[in-house]
Structure 1
Amino acid sequence: MTELHAVALTCSLKPTPAQSSTELLAGQVLDQLSQNGVTVSAPIRVVDYDIAPGVEADMGDGDQWPEIRRALVHADILVFATPTWLGHMSSVAQRALERLDAELSATDDRNRPGMVGKVAVAAVVGNEDGAHKIIADVFQGLNDIGYTIPAQGGTYWNGESMQGVDYNDLDTTPEPTAATTATAARNATHLAAQLADRTYPPY
């Protein structure tokens, strides 16, 4: 099988070294991918970088998105992880999607956007409702950019609404979340392997 690589963008609002439930769940997805034979990199906490607003691959003047972009170009599988804030993905996640818009015009020698042939899964945490809506929005954006979404390619944890317990406060991972994470990783690995061997036709 072709060697596959995965990277996670964790879109927490908390900079390193603060504990992040988003990064915890993203790391669990990466662990499952590793168990399926995928080579994984350490999660990239996007808020630690100076990411300029815009829709270009490089906005200049100290913009650090190009560093993140290099990791995305290298990876076959993207884990896109975000917390839930006011029922929506984080502002950091929205900015990452906006910057990925540049990939629509970054075509290869067969006129395909550069991210076509890559696979993406979503991971969402929060102690309020919104995970399904966020996953839907993330999938739509990433699919527009060229990523392929595997069957059951999203995983999430929702704490009790209006309470203060975070995912990283739990003693153990709830079985439904663990099982869903394993399924997302397994299906992403399978799909990425198929696309590595036989990607989409030229445009």
Structure 2
Amino acid sequence: MTGFQERRSHISREMERVIDYLVDRKRGDKKRPPATGAALEGAVEIHRLSLETPIDPAEMAAFKARFTELMRTDGNRAGLGRYLGTCERDALCGAVDGYPSACWSRSVAQIVNDEFTPLELLLFEPDKDLIQDIDDALKDVYKDAPPMPKNAIPDWVPTTHWWWYAPEQREMTDWERRMHFEYDWDDWR
């Protein structure tokens, strides 16, 4: 098998894994907990791999159709809401320690929306404003968030994902970064 064929085979296995994450589970099945977040992040990995290795258009179209179909189930729609809710919580904690996690989750949501299926069609009514709420939270805290280390920003993330680049890009030593994140209760007296 050539290197190209191995990469294509790996992508196909990733597609199967993502679909398996989304397949309905029997209620109470502890061996297979809901894994919508893992499926979303797996879809982003497929997108990243597709930037390096072309994917057969028919295979990608079939994957996107099945992905969208499974994401429309109530369990996966609820899982999407939980994933975005966690992203919002991380964004709200961005000035302390949540900013990098929020950036990652926000990019996952944007790539899934842009490359696989529109999230607006998947979100339950109470969750419809979550993306805007996340963006608002990121805008509120980015001035206080420590700068993202250059190696923390994935090189394949588009520059349109402004949240990665919003914190002022100033150099911080590892000690300064750690002191920004780690404090003790005496600091609050």
TM-score calculated relative to the size of structure 1: 0.31
Higher Cα Rg: structure 1 or 2? 2
Higher strand share: 1
Specify which structure has the bigger relative contact order, considering alpha-carbon pairs within 8 angstroms and separated by 6 or more residues.
1
TM-score calculated relative to the size of structure 2: 0.32
